[in-house]
Structure 1
């Protein structure tokens, strides 16, 4: 990694840390800042279609088409290894994904970090769902899915029909998430 990329990641990490801290301070005990979306006449949201059009590397460096998740209920978690709330929620998110086993929904993680940092993190903490390297470009992808402030963690719930159902900015409250996932099935 050259110095230009390293400096870019450092600046981005600092910006996300500040934005995350601001979002964290503004949150109350109710949990993350959430946004619910109205249906779009059973047509996929443009943001979800854009997500499915992406190809990101997995942690082994192999390109993976996100189109493989099209037509399946999906929880997309944007995170970084330097983001404390991201790291704190990942074990419980991993347990939730493992318990369901893809029967009713799938979870993927998109890391806004360097491939090296993400791979080192994954060696320390075992995660049961696929992790992809989004790098700096994933910031734009998250913004397209409603993350105007660029804070992390940022999670997006997408129905099998490609409609964005809800977004969560900040650390997840899992009781709330389980209720949203149950409503997704119904």
Structure 2
């Protein structure tokens, strides 16, 4: 049953993405319309000039919830704070309530939690979630991963921190 729900979630997300599923990459213009958990618009362009780890997730996605503790722990690493790295978690849940319930029971550390208010632009299109994009300060997507993984590793922290130094 759980596998059927998970598979249905991937199909639903792929359909939401339309014909660009699996595409993307390159450079982002930070044009995705997102809101904070209170519903106020947030301009993703405010992250320009910083290294960003952008994770696309949903509360109904078991792999997303499985990797969430590692993303939260990563957001609190001192070397990322020193390098001005932003950990941005963009939920594709249908509405704000599921995200608010998640936040009521979860300390998200230094991560910024946002909610998609539109379909993602092509550069953030994927074949499923969770999907994570590492973005350099110039907006180039330097890495993309689809599927859950442990993000709180010294190697990932070094990779993200080095994005600021590579300018």
TM-score by length of 1: 0.67
Instruction: Say if 1:13 and 1:68 are closer, same or farther in 2 by CA, change over 3 A.
Output: farther
CA distance in 2, matches of 1:14, 1:61: 29
Tell me the SS of whatever aligns to 2:149. coil
- Higher alpha-carbon Rg: 1
Q: Residues of 1 paired with 2:66 and 2:6: CA distance?
A: 17
Q: 1:123 aligns with which of 104, 114, 118?
A: 104
Q: Which residue of 1 aligns with 2:72?
A: 94
Quote how far apart the aligned CAs of 1:55 are: 3.6
Structure-1 separation of matches of 2:160 and 2:31: 24
**Structure (1 or 2) with the greater helix fraction:** 1
Residue 8 of structure 2, aligned match among 9, 12, 15: 15
Q: Is the 8 A contact 1:74 1:159 kept in 2?
A: yes
Is 1:60 aligned to residue 38 of structure 2?
yes
Structure 2 unpaired stretches of 5+: 14-24
Q: Which runs of 5+ in 1 are unaligned?
A: 1-11, 21-36
Count, aligned residues: 144
CA contact (8 A) 1:54 1:67 kept: no
Distance in 2 (alpha carbons) for counterparts of 1:55 and 1:168: 22
After superposition, the Cα gap between the structure-2 partners of 1:18 and 1:156, relative to the gap in structure 1 and judged at 3 Å, is same
Do the aligned residues in 1 keep the contact of 2:32 with 2:116 (CA within 8 Å)?
A: no
CA-to-partner distance for each residue in 1:109-167, whole Å, 9 max, x for gaps? 100102111111111111121111115x34x33x53251x1x11100000011111000
| 1:103 matches 2:82 | yes
Q: Counterparts of 2:31 and 2:65 in 1: how far apart (Å)?
A: 27
Shift in Å at residue 14 of structure 1?
Answer: 5.9
Residue aligned with 1:59, SS: coil
